[in-house]
């Protein structure tokens, strides 16, 4: 309790003294990381300070992306590329649910002269050297810590919407109160419910996530064929091609296709190409590489597909061919690329 009051004081001081506040969670954000970032942003709003939440869209789960889209008009989201244009000497970085530099989604942490860490994970040699670290290993989640801070202000900015997401953060990190749950955690949950948060909202959120995960896993496990491009010049590249071969007309969200392409890189593949319809006539393609295959080069070389990106991550779309014809076009595009 004493430490928490001290944290509140430090946050007020640091936020008030800064020109603007940048908030970041960890790579591959989850509910706890996103919800507590929104909580800190709410604190900045209470203190009347310009603030930005750093979020990279390419590596965010569909469910979180949907939440982001729902609340986009109320919060300032930026990606790491936009930091350089906004940062100044007095900017404050608040790291939430993460304390290690190598787990940050940004490479710009060293540009900040003022950094505060709020987390519930163990520290080690990779822990960033911050001006103030608040690490509470006894807290179920960062959402719990931030709720306790917000609760000390009597502000209508701490509303039902924020409370629901913080509750989702706590429920995720405690695996539905089956671990890391103290009587303090339950007190915090009580506060959130008093603010209007509901278990129904959270259950619904996780159910949607479950359905979306299942859809992506099915696409990856049933729809992938591996092609090895042999001969010396093709360097035995192992490339994964994924599409819904049983029900090719299935419609996906663009993010689901992107996540499937990311997922495949966990396996022994040099590059992955995932194709699926995003409406009745448009096919979206996501390409990923972890080898010297430049997927942006491959994607932009294709005739009927408009595409682009960078060496490791590219995408494209087409309405000219069906899924199987599009797969063929990509395969021959790769063969041409590898011959070069």
Question: Where on the chain is the footprint of Mn ion (CB under 5 A)?
Answer: 32, 97, 141, 173
Identify which of residues 173 and 294 has a Cβ nearer to Mn ion in the complex. 173
Q: How far is the CB of 186 from Mn ion (least distance, A)?
A: 18
Identify which of residues 146 and 295 has a Cβ nearer to Mn ion in the complex. 146
Q: How far is the CB of 51 from Mn ion (least distance, A)?
A: 20
- 3-class secondary structure, 26: coil
Question: CA 83, 287, 278: angle at the middle one, nearest 5?
Answer: 95
Identify which of residues 173 and 327 has a Cβ nearer to Mn ion in the complex. 173
Q: CA 151 to CA 57: how far, in whole Å?
A: 30
Q: How far is the CB of 28 from Mn ion (least distance, A)?
A: 12
Q: How far is the CB of 146 from Mn ion (least distance, A)?
A: 11
Q: How many residues does the chain have?
A: 340
Which residue is nearest to Mn ion, using beta carbons? 32
Identify the residue whose tokens are 């419609």. 251
Identify which of residues 106 and 172 has a Cβ nearer to Mn ion in the complex. 172
Buried b (16+ CB within 10 A) or exposed e, 71-92: eeeebbbbebeebeeebeeebb
Identify which of residues 141 and 286 has a Cβ nearer to Mn ion in the complex. 141
Identify which of residues 97 and 327 has a Cβ nearer to Mn ion in the complex. 97
Q: CA 106 to CA 104: how far, in whole Å?
A: 5
- 314-322: Cβ within 8 A, 24+ apart: 314/286, 314/287, 315/258, 315/284, 315/285, 315/286, 315/287, 316/284, 316/285, 316/287, 317/278, 317/282, 317/283, 317/284, 317/285, 318/282, 318/283, 318/285, 319/281, 319/282, 319/283, 321/283, 322/248, 322/283
Tokens for 148, please give them.
Answer: 């306790």
Identify which of residues 173 and 256 has a Cβ nearer to Mn ion in the complex. 173
Q: How far is the CB of 21 from Mn ion (least distance, A)?
A: 20
Q: CA 305 to CA 316: how far, in whole Å?
A: 6
């Amino acid at each position: 309790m004493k430490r928490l009051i001290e944290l509140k004081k430090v946050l007020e001081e640091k936020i008030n003294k800064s020109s603007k506040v940048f908030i970041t969670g960890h790579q591959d954000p989850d509910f706890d990381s996103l919800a507590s970032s929104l909580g800190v942003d709410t604190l900045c709003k209470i203190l009347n300070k310009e603030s930005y939440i750093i979020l990279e869209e390419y590596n965010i789960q569909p469910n979180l992306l949907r939440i982001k889209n729902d609340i986009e008009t109320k919060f300032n989201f930026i990606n790491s590329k936009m930091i350089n244009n906004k940062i100044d000497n007095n900017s404050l970085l608040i790291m939430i649910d993460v304390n290690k530099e190598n787990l940050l989604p940004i490479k710009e942490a060293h540009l900040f002269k003022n950094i505060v860490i709020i987390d519930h994970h163990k520290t080690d040699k990779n822990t960033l050297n911050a001006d103030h670290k608040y690490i509470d290993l006894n807290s179920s989640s960062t959402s719990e810590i931030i709720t306790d801070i917000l609760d000390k202000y009597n502000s209508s900015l701490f509303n039902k919407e924020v409370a629901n997401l913080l509750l989702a953060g706590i429920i995720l990190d405690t695996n539905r109160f089956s671990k890391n749950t103290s009587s303090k955690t339950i007190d915090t949950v009580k506060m959130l419910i008093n603010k209007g948060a509901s278990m129904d909202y959270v259950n619904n959120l996780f159910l949607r996530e479950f359905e979306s995960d299942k859809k992506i896993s099915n696409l990856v496990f049933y729809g992938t064929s591996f092609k090895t491009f042999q001969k010396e010049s093709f360097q035995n590249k192992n490339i994964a091609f994924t599409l819904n071969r049983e029900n090719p007309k299935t419609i996906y969200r663009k993010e689901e296709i992107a996540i499937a392409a990311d997922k495949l890189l966990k396996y022994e593949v040099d590059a992955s190409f995932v194709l699926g319809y995003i409406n009745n006539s448009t096919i979206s393609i996501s390409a990923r590489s972890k080898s010297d295959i430049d997927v942006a080069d491959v994607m932009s070389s294709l005739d009927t597909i408009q595409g682009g990106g960078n060496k490791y991550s590219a995408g494209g779309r087409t309405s000219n061919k069906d899924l199987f014809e599009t797969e063929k076009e990509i395969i021959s595009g790769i063969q041409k690329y590898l011959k070069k």
